[in-house]
């Protein structure tokens, strides 16, 4: 199964954009890229997902490289409430039992400073 | 609509005992998956149930088991508890496709002494 690699931690100033990278060099053509975040003392929260094209929603934007071997989660204006652990995972659409997700790993811990 | 509910929120058990955790998914979701979260290993997949059948299983010993009921509610059981089983156990529900988001509960914090 394809794996993802993320930096352990990143830091940003409040109200500035944040670009969280994720490498997935062994991604297959049928893998969806999902991003989740986990705030302290809570379960992970869905942020965004995409397959090939860049995606935008009210929380963030997802930029997917043309070769799909990497992606970037973009928070346009970081707030203190965005301080969380961000996970990038892959979910294969062709597996017959594709509803699950593999190990999330340790993600990227984002620190936002005022 | 109501989110994913996990009970109990906290649990303290002794080595050798067994424990059952419960997860109520979002209404309409047929998939429930379980995860173990520890500081050392991060968030690891245990197993997933869909329409009362286990569809996928992670790399955990047979002491970890689960089931899903006809109303999609799920339970996971850990027998012969070990100190290393102390963790946050999270469940997530979804419609069951790879492009459907996972919705997580806030977890059950299990401490084994």
Q: Residue A104 is nearest to which of B43, B56, B98, comparing CB atoms?
A: B43
As a whole number, the mean pLDDT across chain A is: 89
Which residues 57-96 in chain B show a CB within 8 A of chain A?
58, 90, 92, 94-96
Residue B38 CA: distances (Å) to CA of A18, A52, B43, B111: 27, 32, 7, 11
A1 in reach of chain B (CB within 8 A): no
Q: What is the rounded CA–CA span in Å between residue B77 and residue A89?
A: 26
For residue B65, is pLDDT > 50? yes
pLDDT value of position B96: 84
Reported as a single tens digit per residue, the pLDDT across A38-82 is: 998 899 999 999 999 999 999 999 999 999 999 999 999 999 999
What's the mean pLDDT when you consider all of chain B? Answer: 94
Predicted pLDDT at B1: 61
Search chain B and give the residue with CA nearest A102.
Answer: B45
Provide the greatest CA pair distance for chain A.
46
Over range B103-113, report the average pLDDT.
Answer: 96
Residue A92 scores a pLDDT above 80: no
With beta carbons under 8 A apart, name residues in chain A contacting B92.
Answer: 43-44, 101
Judging contacts by C-beta atoms under 8 Å, the chain B residues touching residue A42 are 106
A2-16, A95-109, B5-19, B36-50: range with lowest mean pLDDT = A95-109
Q: Peptide bond preceding B56: is omega within 30 degrees of 0, i.e. cis?
A: no
> What residues contact A78, with CB distance under 8 A and at least 6 apart?
A12, A13, A14, A15, A16, A17, A18, A110, A112
For residue B104, list chain A residues with Cβ-Cβ distance below 8 A.
36, 43-45
For residue A30, the model assigns a pLDDT of: 83
Closest chain A CA to residue B29: A99
């Amino acid at each position: 199964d394809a794996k993802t690699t993320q930096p352990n931690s990143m830091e940003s100033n409040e109200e500035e954009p944040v670009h969280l990278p994720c490498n997935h060099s062994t991604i297959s053509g049928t893998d969806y890229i999902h991003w989740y975040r986990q705030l302290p003392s809570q379960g992970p929260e869905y942020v965004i997902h995409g397959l090939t094209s860049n995606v935008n929603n009210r929380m963030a934007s997802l930029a997917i490289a043309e070769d799909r071997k990497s992606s970037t989660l973009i928070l346009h204006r970081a707030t203190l409430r965005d301080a969380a652990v961000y996970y990038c995972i892959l979910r294969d659409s062709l597996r017959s039992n594709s509803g699950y997700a593999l190990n999330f790993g340790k993600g990227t811990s984002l620190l936002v400073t005022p | 609509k109501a989110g994913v509910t996990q009970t109990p929120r906290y649990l303290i058990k002794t080595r050798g005992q067994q424990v059952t955790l419960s997860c109520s998914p979002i209404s309409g979701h047929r998939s429930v998956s379980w995860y173990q979260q520890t500081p050392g290993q991060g968030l690891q997949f245990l197993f997933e149930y869909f329409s009362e059948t286990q569809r996928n299983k992670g790399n955990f010993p047979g002491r970890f088991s689960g089931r899903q009921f006809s109303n999609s509610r799920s339970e996971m059981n850990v027998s012969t508890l070990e100190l290393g089983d102390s963790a946050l156990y999270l469940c997530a529900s979804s419609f069951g496709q790879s492009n459907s988001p996972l919705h997580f509960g806030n977890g059950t914090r299990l401490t084994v002494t």
